């Protein structure tokens, strides 16, 4: 079954939780006991409609404050596809959660309140989805019931958003506009009778018909070695298998490969998935590879095709999204985790802060606070093997770990 992960972004009161609840309800994904709990609580609160947001707002603190404060995952499926929704909060202070949710998603929904139109928050949501290079983005113009299902209002908002689109860095991003009412159920799963003027797909139809090629591009294979398998049994006495996940393109038996950083050449002997051998392993498969020659390979090394080397360097510049309350400063030392590889890094320079609402840059800053996004140059204690993020989402990204607290303090996208 195909799995599609969708990130959602919206401001407080844009009706994001209601939209997700509506998706669950109209795809008949809410079970009787969950529906019963929603009905019970809605009644207690004195609502005259079902409060679908109760289906998703998980933590007690959220229920008390009536807001979503962290990334929550919601699951539903159609006969066609399995869906995972990463519900990320949309307030200013939670850029980090939006970046987190978007990092594992292949599609995104940006919600706009039809009464308010494009607001500063919308810019941020769009900026982040574009920064993370999400290929398929839906702009859902919600609460159409409150603007009399007006086509004119819809077109106004669409035109405002299109102005924003000219500013984006990743121009290949596909953007689709859909007028919806999550509360009343228009154009979410079922077509709206009130908006006959809209001829496009409903939200669910759009995702159902998304093809793999709409969300992925063919890339170049990178195989970071996670773990070395040495069974030391009689049957597999000399077996040395390199376990990892194939990122980018595909790898086949007989391919000439280079092991980084030793630059040793060899050929792929076997590709195992569990107890079967295969000729080719495609993207995202967790396989075990053996090589023709006995060479030393350990965790953090990388297998790439000969003639297709990444950049090997002890320095790089990246767009960093900072997620920690402790500031990032010039001279600060962190652990860079690049895939499964870890190296020590020092902040060489903070070039400028990028305002995530497309209002420009700030060159006067010397430190990064929580939710700041900036261009930063790092120097490493040993070389890593990277691609630019725009060419390779996995091999072009890294996280920064604070060695004192061990927390994941930020994420970076290499230029």
Residue ranges in 256-315 that form contacts with other proteins under rule CB under 8 A: 271-288, 299
Tell me whether residue 65 or residue 359 sits nearer to other proteins (CB atom).
Answer: 65
Residue 129 as a binder of other proteins (CB under 8 A): the answer is: no
Which residue from 260, 265, 239, 257 is spatially nearest to 340, judged by alpha carbons? 260
* 31 binds other proteins, rule: CB under 8 A: yes
**Smallest gap from residue 337 Cβ to other proteins (A):** 6
**Cβ atoms 305, 223 nearer than 8 A:** no
Nearest residue (CB) to other proteins, 37 versus 367: 37
Q: Which is nearer to other proteins, 114 or 281 (CB)?
A: 281
Task: Say how many residues touch other proteins, by CB under 8 A.
Answer: 100
- How far is the first Cα of the chain from the last one, in angstroms, to the nearest whole number? 35
Distance CA 10, CA 121 (A): 8
Least separation in angstroms between residue 200's CB and other proteins is: 25
Written as six digits, the tokens of 112 are 């706009």
d(CA 153, CA 99): 30
Near other proteins by CB under 8 A, which window of 157-165, 199-207, 376-384, 399-407? 399-407
Q: Residue 96, SS3? A: helix
The structure tokens listed for 100 are 């987190």
Q: Is 23 in the site for other proteins (CB under 8 A)?
A: no
What is the per-residue binding string for other proteins in 215-254, x denoting contact by CB under 8 A? xxxxxx-x---xx-xxxxx-xx--x-x-xxx-xxx-----
Nearer to other proteins by Cβ, of 219 and 261: the residue is: 219
- The verdict on 159 binding other proteins (CB under 8 A) reads no
Triad 377, 380, 381: Cα angle to 5°: 160
Q: How far is the CB of 161 from other proteins (least distance, A)?
A: 22
Closest separation between CB of residue 133 and other proteins, Å?
Answer: 6
- Rounded to an integer, what distance in angstroms lies between the CA atom of residue 340 and that of residue 363? 33
SS3 356: coil
Q: Which is nearer to other proteins, 284 or 314 (CB)?
A: 284
Which of residues 8, 53, 103, 121 is near other proteins by CB under 8 A?
103
- The answer to whether residue 332 forms part of the interface with other proteins (CB under 8 A) is no
Q: Which is nearer to other proteins, 103 or 121 (CB)?
A: 103
Which residue in the set 80, 104, 349, 381 belongs to the binding site for other proteins (CB under 8 A)? 104
Between the alpha carbon of residue 171 and those of residues 96, 127, 213, 216, 299, the distances in Å are: 23, 12, 17, 15, 36
Min CB(75)–other proteins separation in Å? 4
Cβ proximity to other proteins, 60 vs 263, nearer residue: 60
SS3 content of the chain, % helix, strand, coil (to 5): 20, 35, 40
**Smallest gap, in angstroms, from Cβ of residue 22 to other proteins?**
18
Q: Is the peptide bond before 57 cis (omega within 30 degrees of 0)?
A: no
Nearer to other proteins, 199 or 276 (CB): 276
**What's phi and psi for 14, nearest 5 deg?**
-75, -10
Report the alpha-carbon distance of residue 27 to residue 200 in Å, rounded: 19
Encoded tokens for 129: 């989805």
CB atoms within 10 A of CB 68: 26
Residues 347-376 close enough to bind other proteins by CB under 8 A: none
């Amino acid at each position: 079954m195909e799995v599609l992960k969708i990130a959602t972004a919206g401001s407080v009161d844009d009706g994001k939780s209601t939209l997700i609840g509506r998706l669950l309800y109209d795809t008949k994904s809410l079970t009787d006991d969950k529906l019963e709990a929603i009905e019970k609580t809605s009644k207690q609160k004195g609502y005259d409609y079902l409060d679908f947001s109760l289906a998703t707002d998980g933590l007690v603190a959220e229920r008390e404050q009536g807001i979503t404060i962290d990334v929550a995952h919601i699951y539903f499926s159609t006969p066609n596809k399995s869906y995972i929704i990463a519900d990320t909060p949309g307030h200013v202070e939670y850029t980090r959660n939006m970046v987190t949710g978007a990092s594992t998603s292949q599609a995104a929904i940006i919600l706009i309140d039809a009464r308010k139109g494009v607001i500063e928050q919308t810019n941020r949501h769009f900026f982040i989805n574009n920064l993370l290079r999400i290929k398929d983005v839906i702009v859902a113009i919600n609460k159409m019931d409150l603007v009399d299902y007006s086509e004119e209002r819809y077109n106004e908002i669409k035109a405002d958003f299109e102005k924003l689109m000219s500013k984006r860095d990743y121009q290949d991003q596909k953007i689709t506009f859909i007028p919806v009412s999550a509360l009343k159920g228009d154009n979410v799963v079922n077509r709206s009778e009130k908006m006959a003027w809209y001829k496009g797909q409903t939200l669910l139809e759009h995702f159902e018909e998304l093809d793999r090629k709409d969300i992925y591009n063919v890339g170049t294979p990178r195989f970071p070695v996670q773990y070395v398998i040495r069974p030391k049994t009689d049957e597999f006495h000399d077996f040395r298998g390199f376990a990892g996940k194939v990122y980018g393109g595909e790898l086949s038996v007989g391919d000439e490969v280079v092991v980084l950083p030793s630059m040793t050449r060899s050929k792929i002997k076997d590709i195992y998935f569990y107890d079967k051998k295969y000729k080719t392993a495609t993207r995202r498969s967790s396989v075990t590879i053996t090589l023709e020659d006995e060479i030393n390979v350990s965790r953090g090394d990388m297998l790439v095709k000969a003639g297709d080397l990444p950049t090997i360097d002890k320095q790089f510049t990246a767009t960093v999204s900072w997620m920690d309350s402790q500031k990032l400063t010039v001279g600060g030392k962190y652990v860079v985790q690049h895939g499964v590889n870890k190296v020590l890094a020092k902040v060489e320079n903070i070039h400028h802060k990028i305002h995530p609402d497309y209002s420009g840059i700030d060159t006067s800053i010397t430190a990064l606070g929580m939710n700041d996004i900036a261009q930063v140059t790092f120097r490493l204690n040993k070389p890593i093997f990277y691609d630019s993020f725009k060419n390779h989402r996995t091999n072009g990204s890294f996280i920064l770990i604070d060695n004192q607290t061990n927390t994941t303090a930020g994420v970076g996208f290499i230029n």
